[in-house]
Amino acid sequence: MPPKRKKDKVPKGRYDSSQSSVNVPLQIKEDIKRLQDKRCWLCNHRAHKILRPLQIYHIFPKAIRKRYRFVMHHKLGQIQLHNIHDRGNLIALCSICHFAYQYDQWTFFPEDTTNWRQRVEATPQIIPEYNSQRNIVFRRLLLCPDPDSKAFQDNHYKSAFTDNPTKIWSGEPGVVVLRPIPLNPPSTTAELKKTLHDFRVLQSLWVEYESQCSEEKCPICQSNNEGEDGKEDEEGDKDFGRSRKRRKGISKRQPGSTGQ
């Protein structure tokens, strides 16, 4: 009998059940899986119902407190999506890569992060233009490899970073930029350090950007917070109102963080 495989352990205090894709409309889930040819975006492994189920993951976290941030980022013009379940915030990953992404073992950035950083530094007004782009090339990076994890023992996962470090993703760039990343990944090479530095500068420029949503009849900015998630949105708006007052403080905080 083959030895039993060790199950990946969820780090204490990190499990967040509200991150599940249970509220994503079925049609959107199906569309994303079809768009990715029913393969994992990272390791390219074909979905297997039992061994390697394909799961839909929110790039910008769905946890309720973070969702308030989502509304705030929208109202400040830092993202254009209307809903946390929009296609532009979703990716299909196999269960192995999903787990590793959720626990910051890998991440992805725009391929030319350094160039983005320079351009946003010179002209912050370019942010909406970046956000309206789709199908741009991203670079996948191994952040905190865990030798005991299922992912680290999987060749499909490991080879993604060496054999196919870049890949097109169809979502909105802003949600990738605003997603928090770990401060000091333990296995940082000089190259990774430089990319992370540029990425962090890009993040801080992004959260300092502020403009009015330009969309007429925008469901987030113009609504009375009704609809499917009305209650949450109403709470979100209160949070947003408070947040604006301490806006200066926000820009120093990790984007997307709850400050808790």
Of 36 and 113, CB closest to Zn ion: 36
Residue 63 binds Zn ion, judged by CB under 5 A: no
Is 44 within 8 Å of 164 (Cβ atoms)? yes
Q: What's the closest the beta carbon of residue 157 comes to Zn ion, in angstroms?
A: 6
Based on the shown chain and the rule CB under 5 A, indicate whether residue 33 belongs to the binding site for Zn ion.
no
**Measured from the CB atom, is 38 or 238 closer to Zn ion?**
38
221 part of the interface to Zn ion, by CB under 5 A: yes
Binding region for Zn ion (CB under 5 A) out of 173-181, 182-190, 221-229, 239-247:
221-229
In the complex with Zn ion, the residue whose CB is nearer, 51 or 194, is 51
* CB nearer Zn ion, residue 37 or residue 121: 37
Q: Report the distance separating Cα 170 and Cα 93, nearest Å.
A: 14
CB 251 within 8 A of CB 204: yes
Supply the minimum distance, in Å, between the C-beta of residue 214 and Zn ion.
8
Q: Find the part of the chain contacting Zn ion (CB under 5 A) among 15-23, 112-120, 174-182, 209-217.
A: 209-217
For the CB of residue 190, give the shortest distance to Zn ion in the complex, in Å: 27
How many chain residues touch Zn ion (CB under 5 A)?
A: 9
Contact indicator for 154, 43 with CB cutoff of 8 Å: yes
16, HSE (Cβ side, Cα atoms, 13 Å)? 15
Binding mask 41-60 for Zn ion (x = CB under 5 A): -xx-----------------
Q: How many CB atoms lie within 10 A of CB 253?
A: 16
Determine if 201 is a binding residue for Zn ion (CB under 5 A).
no
C-beta of residue 171 within 8 angstroms of C-beta of residue 31: no
Nearer to Zn ion, 53 or 259 (CB): 53
**Positions 84 through 113 that interact with Zn ion (CB under 5 A):** 94, 97
Contacting residue, 218, 223, 235, 253, with Zn ion by CB under 5 A: 218
> Which position among 84, 205, 220, 250 is part of the footprint of Zn ion (CB under 5 A)?
220
User: In angstroms, what is the minimal distance from the CB of 100 to Zn ion?
Assistant: 8
Task: Return residues touching Zn ion (CB under 5 A).
Answer: 40, 42-43, 94, 97, 213, 218, 220-221
